[in-house]
Amino acid sequence: MSFIRFDAIRNEVTNDQEQQALRRYVDRSDERDGMNQELQAKNPFEVDSPERAAFRKATINPRDGYSIERIIGQDNLFPTSYLEAGVKAAKSVCRIEVRDRIGRVLGYGTGFLVSPSLLLTNNHILKNEVTAEHCLAQFNYEHDLNLRERQMKSFRLSPKRFFMTNTKLDFTLVALEELSEDKTNLSDFGFLPLFPPSGKGLVGEFVSVIQHPSGAPKALAIRDSKIIDVFDDYIHYSADTLEGSSGSPVFNDEWTVVALHHAGVPDPKDETNYIANEGTRVSSIVQFVQSEQPKLSKDKKKLIDELLKTQASEEPAGEEILVKELSLEWYEGSTGHDPAFLGNSFEVPFPAFRKDLENDITPVESGENILHYTHFSAVMSKSRRLAFYTVVDIDGNQLRDIKRGNDRWYYDPRIPRDLQCGEELYKNNDIDRGHLVRRRDPVWGDSAEEANEDTFHFTNCSPQHKDFNQKTWLDLEDYLLNNAENGKYKVTVFTGPIFRNDDVTYRGVQIPAEFWKIAAMVKDDGSRSATAYLQSQKNLVDDLELANNEYKTYQVPLIKIEELTGLDFGDLRKYDPVSHLEATVSYVIQAAEDIRL
């Protein structure tokens, strides 16, 4: 759907794009028809890729109780705030008036602010800096409640300050002047952040388009369109658009921009009709912008930094983290937990699994079942996508103080990514990435830096309510580490969740309600000790929005942990100071003095 009023120019600009869109549509027809049949019985989360579906779930505000049902098409109920959010999103959308160098109006398009300074539209609307110099971005061109036109605010484009365009993706980013002709601030119109991850819109999900059809006052095609296909760089959807709608933002139900509308898909049997619309995916645009940033001048880099920082600060995740993957070479030489770490006279082997759990252990690329890191190891569950347990060796004589720095979390390339719970689980909620091996514990010796980095693997975290790491559990961790450091001891600590069939399911993941620790050490008098601890967050995860009850940490017989986890710690249970108690007996730990070693 082009914006140009002159047919000769329109055909020159858009015909190739429309024909490419048609080829993409036709090539996927059989596959799409099969997917549409699946959608009759399943929701889009189940037929789209796991990674995209997982991120889509992560963008949903958990306080919107109807959101999941609405997205899969089973419920059309909305909170009234949906309309308010739509009005807010519409403020950033403008009409682009395309002019020649003597001021004649050639046509209209649509664009929208994506940062405090930058406007996004199509390449076929603003092909180059020369064209952009003569154009206007007209905000507030819309009707009020009395169907009267509001006072339009016109801003000149500033391509010399910033201009970036790409023909294949059909987008242009251009800077605007900060003040309009009547001295209105551009900041009055906000902006629509562009979020890089894939999965903001799934096949079968409704989308809305805010646009200036035919250059008319702002209009909205609201939820009358579904995404019908997703390609590497484009999505196809059905929606009402006209010439002038090019450059419009395509939104999901959270009013997050999923695509930049740019073309129609013509009906091969009747070129006067269109069978779908096509938009360029936001994730592809952001990826291109990031790749071009190093080539830019210092001032232009700052504008892109502003755009990218905006994404991080506005994204539903809440806090900014960097998700990456290390190369396989990083893990070479990582031997993990050493069973003889506490001395040959006190071997602490890896625990054995109960027979029925063995098939649920995630195999590692090397052929093992254990992921080894620097000074610690982990064994993963396939079904839960979380660690069964971690085990870390702490050397109190060599501990080093390394600052945490900015969070960056890693997927482990030695196991499939879809068997690891990633950032999609932790966004926009009260769930933290709870370190199983605490960051400070393996940070000792010459490889302390590597150990510090290794603790930021998703394989080493488990979903924990933000209030879970309360004082007594933290006191326990501090006690074990400080005792090792002050006494120059060595300690081996196992940590893990307890998997129950009735654990609450949240975003497709069962959230463990309880966590445990086992600490093994050699005391001053040479005697051996292996103590076990348990804490529950059940009351916190039963209702992730209304958690306020008291919860406690317990010291329990080690055999209690074995019963709950299906792990066999062998001879360790011999050195448990409370082993004489029944598995049902436990001590409440209210302070470090309550711990029985």
469 is an annotated ligand-binding site residue: yes
Which residue in 435, 457, 465, 580 is the catalytic one?
Answer: 435
Q: Is 580 a catalytic residue?
A: no
For the four alpha carbons of 357, 358, 360 and 364, in that order, the dihedral sign comes to positive
Burial of 57 (0-12, 13-18, 19+ CB in 10 A): buried
Q: Are 588 and 547 in contact (CB under 8 A)?
A: no
On whether the CB atoms of residues 162 and 174 are closer than 8 A, the answer is yes
Nearest CA among 503, 429, 497, 491 for reference residue 461? 497
Closest CA to 459 of 364, 540, 395: 364
Please calculate the CA angle 289-294-298 and round it to the nearest 5 degrees. Answer: 105
Which residues on neighbouring strands pair with residue 431, listed in sequence order? 465
Whose tokens are 């291109």? That residue is 288
How distant, in Å, are the alpha carbons of 115, 432, 532, 554 from that of 493? 47, 21, 10, 16
User: CA–CA separation, 128 vs 422, rounded Å?
Assistant: 40
Tell me the H-state helices in 259-367. 282-292, 298-314
Distance of CA 475 to the CA centre of its chain: 31
Torsion sign over Cα 420, 50, 501, 357: negative
Question: What percent helix, strand, coil does the chain show, rounded to 5?
Answer: 30, 30, 45
Sheet with 153-156, side-by-side order of all strands: 153-156, 136-139, 93-99, 105-113, 118-121, 171-175, 163-166
Which sequence positions are flagged as catalytic?
Answer: 435
What residues form the annotated binding site?
A: 469
Q: Report the binding-site residues for Mg(2+).
A: 469
